[in-house]
Amino acid sequence: MNKLKQLYEGKAKKVFKTDNPDIYLIQYKDDATAFNAQKRGTIVGKGVVNNKMSAYWFLFLEEKGIPTHFIELLNDREMLVKAVEIVKTEVIIRNIAAGSMSKRLGIPEGTPLSQPVLEFCYKSDELGDPVINRDHIRVMKLATDPEIELMAEYAHKINGYLQAELLKSNITLVDFKLEFGRFQGEIILADEISPDTCRFWDSTTNKKLDKDRFRRDLGGVEEAYQEVLKRITGGKE
């Protein structure tokens, strides 16, 4: 499989064509951004952690019956994936109030929610990924009703699977963001599952083990990323 022309470069990844039109190559970067790219920096080794952790979770979820874009882990920073068309609707699941939810609704950070809260956001850097609802998705023609319901169903299932698995590593899943794509007419999980896209807290101390350490200048960012990867994979990544 040969890496060909670069198709896209985002805040955390580069996407390349391959000699198979149905397969893309993703390369994970160490670049870090926050607050809609107003804050920029580098987290050394982040690309390696996010690549390996995403591969781990994709394989785990495939075993649970969740279809994903993952094909093969190539090396520390690269994987092969199915050439999906990304749905411009991010899906967020919140188990504990934190981040933008606390700011928007005034719920103190760390407050456990009585049930998982699902939010949709419009995937647009220019607009700051605003929160939207199902009616917005319909009128903007971002996804069909069956696609909306399937993404929501998958998100709730993924939440349950990840929560249970993470507790084995003494990690609490506070919230996380998912992206989905279309491949051969099917909705499948895409993007990544990593400390960039999830809030991971130590279940005993509530120590943050995710990108909030970068956002909030808490220090120990690289160490937190490495720690959460080691806990989740048992050092067998």
CATH code for the domain of 67: 3.30.200.20
Residues 75 and 160 reside in one and the same domain: no
User: What is the model's pLDDT at position 236?
Assistant: 59
Q: Encoding tokens for residue 216?
A: 């909030």
Residues 32 and 90 reside in one and the same domain: no
* Residue ranges making up the domain that contains 13: 3-82
Domain for residue 72, yes or no?
yes
User: What is the model's pLDDT at position 235?
Assistant: 63
DSSP letter, residue 68: B
Residues in contact with 10: Cβ distance below 8 Å, sequence separation at least 6, in sequence order: none
Which of 113, 135, 112, 136 is CA-nearest to residue 124?
A: 136
Split into its structural domains, the chain has a count of 2
User: What is the model's pLDDT at position 193?
Assistant: 98
Residues 41 and 89 reside in one and the same domain: no
H/E run at residue 33: strand 31-34
CB 94 within 8 A of CB 116: yes
Radius of gyration of the chain (CA): 17
User: What is the model's pLDDT at position 102?
Assistant: 98
Q: How far apart are CA 195 and CA 174, in angstroms?
A: 11
Domain for residue 228, yes or no?
no
User: What is the model's pLDDT at position 39?
Assistant: 82
Which of 92, 99, 97, 116 is CA-nearest to residue 107?
A: 97
Residues 66 and 104 reside in one and the same domain: no
Residues 118 and 157 reside in one and the same domain: yes
Which CATH number do you get for residue 124? 3.30.470.20
Residues 8 and 44 reside in one and the same domain: yes
Residues 75 and 114 reside in one and the same domain: no
Residues 109 and 186 reside in one and the same domain: yes
Domain for residue 229, yes or no?
no
User: What is the model's pLDDT at position 40?
Assistant: 87
Per-residue pLDDT of the chain (237 residues; tens, 9 = 90+): 799 999 999 889 999 999 999 999 999 999 888 877 678 899 999 999 999 999 999 999 999 999 999 999 999 999 999 999 999 999 999 999 999 999 999 999 999 999 999 999 999 989 999 999 999 999 999 999 999 999 999 999 999 999 999 999 999 999 999 999 999 999 999 999 999 999 999 999 999 999 999 999 999 999 999 999 999 998 655
Residues 36 and 106 reside in one and the same domain: no
Helices (H), the chain: 46-63, 99-105, 134-139, 145-167, 212-215, 221-233
Question: For residue 129, which phi and psi values (nearest 5 degrees)?
Answer: 50, 60
Domain for residue 231, yes or no?
no
Of 29, 50, 82, which residue constitutes the final position of a domain? 82
Q: How far apart are CA 27 and CA 4, in angstroms?
A: 12
Residues 178 and 122 reside in one and the same domain: yes
Q: How far apart are CA 214 and CA 46, in angstroms?
A: 11
Residues 53 and 106 reside in one and the same domain: no
Of 22, 47, 82, which residue constitutes the final position of a domain? 82
Domain for residue 234, yes or no?
no
Domain for residue 230, yes or no?
no
Of 82, 109, 138, which residue constitutes the final position of a domain? 82
Domain for residue 237, yes or no?
no
pTM of the model: 0.95
Residues 42 and 126 reside in one and the same domain: no
Q: How far apart are CA 91 and CA 76, in angstroms?
A: 27
Q: Count of residues for the chain? A: 237
